[in-house]
Amino acid sequence: MNLAIIEKQFQVLRNSRARLLKSSGLEKFKSKAFKKLGAQNAYTANYYYLMAKYHLATGKITDFESSVQTAISTSIVSNKESSQKHGQRLADIAELYILNGSFKVARDYLDRSKKILVEGNFMTDAIKARWGMLQAEAFTGQGYYREAIDILREQEKFYAGRAVKSETFVDDKGNLKSQRVPDDQLKIRYQDYARWMTDLANAFRGQGSFNSADSAFASAARWIDKNLGRYDVTFVNNQFLHSSLILENGLEVDRNFPRGTGFDDALNNLKTNHKNTHYLAISIYEEYIKRLLAQGGGARYNNMKSEFQKMVESNYKGSAYSARLKAVEFDSKLDRDKTKDLENQAIKMLSTTPELPHNNIVTVHVLEFLNGLALSLFMCLNF
């Protein structure tokens, strides 16, 4: 069994029902490889990196942090700290922190990665483009939208130029030749370009440039639909973020989302090819439930909240996702004016939930909720 197979198995695992670690392909691989080769071997660094991805995908944030540190230390031993592999591994870890919403930590890892890659003269066009996209995503997360847009513009030629079915090259005799890109590589290139387009639109969104963001999201959606289909994760992510843009810019509670957008449509598209345990589904569920709540709740709200709750409790019990479910419940109680002891409940959740570190994005959302609760109570007392 090799790591290419394990990586493929992990992608299936992350995008479907979470399984107990002891029964996962990663654990089976560890028991075989480590027994034969020892605890420190050529596969160790990749194993712990994949474990970090697994723990992040399943909401085990404390275990995620631990696996990250082990992945780094074993990478230094296996690859050497000044190597290209280690420099790229630090960028891989930065990507995980971006997914976790820890943008400052991500930028720190990106800075460490860049130092190694530049000093070792390892910065190829492909590595530079990927590093730049990650830096732009971290900048967007921190609110540096202008900087993110500038970086993404620098990478546009690279990503657009690779999203083609055939490439032209010069052979050994100096003749121009055309070569078709293999289908598996082509899909990756299409997804990279789709990610770039959505990143640019999302940076415009954060900047407050509604027209630019709306146009960029719509243009990207058409391209992704044509080349990858509506059920590809890149299309769903674009649709989710585009819907968020529309909602943030004043979509009234009694109005439907424009055609091709909407959290319900995004969730249905995702569930066509993936289980509802997919990491992206968590965010869509949350925003969809909040939207239904703003529209007055009712049967659809109750059904969707029940579906979300069942999915979390069946697959992610004892994870950060459990805390996110509680955060949605706080919004529900606040909307129904059930504010008695609500502040104490939220504070208790923050202080007694071991799976929820203080530097997690969910903690930020709960603190924002407490701020909104305090303002709401203040207005009631002074009305």
pLDDT of residue 359: 63
Q: Does the pLDDT of residue 377 top 90, yes or no?
A: no
Cα distances (angstroms) measured from residue 227 to each of 218, 273, 318: 14, 16, 39
Q: Does the pLDDT of residue 328 top 80, yes or no?
A: no
Q: Does the pLDDT of residue 36 top 80, yes or no?
A: no
Contact 25, 13 (CB under 8 A): yes
Q: Does the pLDDT of residue 123 top 90, yes or no?
A: yes
Pairwise CA distance, residues 177 & 161, whole Å = 17
Nearest to 16 by CA among 306, 264, 195, 273: 273
Which range scores top for mean pLDDT: 17-26, 108-117, 172-181, 327-336? 108-117
pLDDT in tens, 164-222: 999 887 777 777 888 899 999 999 999 999 999 999 999 999 999 999 999 999 999 99
Q: Could you tell me which residue, 160 or 63, shows the higher pLDDT?
A: 160
pLDDT of residue 20: 39
Percent of the chain with pLDDT over 90: 56
The 10 Å Cβ neighbour count of residue 279 is 16
pLDDT in tens, 262-305: 999 999 999 999 988 888 999 999 999 989 988 888 899 999 99
Can you read off the two tokens belonging to residue 59? 């909401």
Q: Does the pLDDT of residue 381 top 60, yes or no?
A: no
Listed as own residue / partner, the contacts of 373-382 with beta carbons closer than 8 Å and 24 or more positions apart are: 373/334, 373/339, 373/342, 373/343, 373/346, 374/343, 376/334, 376/339, 377/339
**Torsion 309-312-313-315 (CA) sign:** positive
Pairwise CA distance, residues 148 & 135, whole Å = 7
pLDDT of residue 357: 62
Using N-to-C axis directions, what is the helix angle for 84-99 and 61-79, rounded to 10°? 170
Q: Could you tell me which residue, 74 or 38, shows the higher pLDDT?
A: 74
pLDDT of residue 262: 97
pLDDT in tens, 45-58: 888 898 898 888 88
17 confidence band (pLDDT: 50, 70, 90) = very low
